[in-house]
Amino acid sequence: MANIIDGKARAKEIRIALKKRVLKQQELTGLLPCLAVVLVGDNPASASYVRGKEQMCGRVSIESRVYRLPEETTQQQLLDLVDELNADKGVDGILVQLPLPKHIDTLTIMDRIDYRKDVDGFHVVNAGKLMVGEKGFVPCTPRGIIDLIKLTGTEIAGKNAVVIGRSNIVGKPVAMLLMAENATVTVCHSKTQNLGDVVKNADIVVAAIGRPGTIKGDMIKDGAVVIDVGTTAVNGVLNGDVEFEEAAKHASYITPVPGGVGPMTIAMLLENTFEAFMEYRVK
């Protein structure tokens, strides 16, 4: 049976270490980092994620400001708020919660955020920096995934890593990070043929497709490290993309859902916010 990767415990460890650094800076500078979170509309999952971000900021002494805007907010109104937050010297990080209502173009909004405050790492400048290997903000979930893989003690270099899903939020950036760690990376998606044959070759599996049970237990190679990014709510219960029980019989390490990748996303958001504060406010 696989070892369970405890993302909740790891995220807590990261927050405890971060809080010490935050308080140390407060002592030295009198300043605290500040994250602005913008939520448009009333998607219940998004509202719950935003509450989680607010709560975790509080736990590490990062200030948070939450802007809750109605569903009918126009793209121009949202751009105006982003401009205001960009200009606000007291704001280090800006996060616009996704998904946005259909009448708003996500990439237009992401690219309006000052890339120096883009703690989500979704701005085209940060995506480009990640691609060419320049220092920039790395998207939170992918950063958390790499941390969890390293936590298992697995050497990434030279391994076959298979990423299932090609989103800008997880699939593409995690593939870049795995490549930077010298893995041999394959990216699969909804049009991939013979998914099972591809996954069977993987020493590291990152499932980020958002369809419960897509990765069957018998697709997992013996000894593989399995990271399940799926969080699809079915009747109020969060479901991963991997058939956990069956996959755990083959994997050496596996993340649970919930309690695996999820808590790491917010921990990395806090880290990115502190980095923005140190880089552009404290210097």
Positions marked catalytic:
53, 97, 120
Determine how many CB atoms are found less than 10 A away from the CB of residue 43: 17
Closest CA to 204 of 167, 165, 265, 251: 251
Nearest distance, CB of residue 231 and ligand GUN, angstroms: 9
Residues 3-42 interacting with ligand GUN (rule: CB under 6 A): none
Counting contacts by CB under 6 A, is residue 161 touching ligand GUN?
Answer: no
| CA–CA distance, 275 with 50 (Å, rounded to integer) | 20
Nearest residue to ligand GUN, by Cβ distance, number only: 98
Which CB, 46 or 154, lies closer to ligand GUN? 46
Label the pairing between strands 225-228 and 253-254: parallel
| Residues with Cβ within 8 Å of residue 110, at least 6 apart in sequence | 96, 118, 120, 122, 123, 124
Residue 14 corresponds to which tokens in the numbers above?
A: 């990261």
| CA–CA distance, 218 with 22 (Å, rounded to integer) | 45
3-state secondary structure of 266: helix
- Only one residue has tokens 């975790």, namely 56
Which CB, 96 or 215, lies closer to ligand GUN? 96
Determine how many CB atoms are found less than 10 A away from the CB of residue 105: 12
What would the 3-class secondary structure string for 21-83 be?
HHHHHHHHHCCCCEEEEEEECCCHHHHHHHHHHHHHHHHCCCEEEEEEECCCCCHHHHHHHHH
Range in contact with ligand GUN (rule: CB under 6 A) among 11-19, 91-99, 222-230, 246-254: 91-99
Angle at alpha carbon of residue 122, lines to 121 and 127, rounded to 5°: 80
Which CB, 64 or 97, lies closer to ligand GUN? 97
Counting contacts by CB under 6 A, is residue 97 touching ligand GUN?
Answer: yes
Counting contacts by CB under 6 A, is residue 98 touching ligand GUN?
Answer: yes
Binder to ligand GUN among 92, 118, 120, 241 (CB under 6 A)?
A: 120
Residues 219-278 interacting with ligand GUN (rule: CB under 6 A): 265
Nearest distance, CB of residue 38 and ligand GUN, angstroms: 9
Nearest distance, CB of residue 39 and ligand GUN, angstroms: 9
Counting contacts by CB under 6 A, is residue 66 touching ligand GUN?
Answer: no
Nearest distance, CB of residue 63 and ligand GUN, angstroms: 18
Residues 163-192 interacting with ligand GUN (rule: CB under 6 A): 169
Binder to ligand GUN among 2, 57, 95, 100 (CB under 6 A)?
A: 95
Counting contacts by CB under 6 A, is residue 141 touching ligand GUN?
Answer: yes
Nearest distance, CB of residue 29 and ligand GUN, angstroms: 28
> Which residues sit at the interface with ligand GUN, rule CB under 6 A?
95-98, 120, 140-141, 169, 265
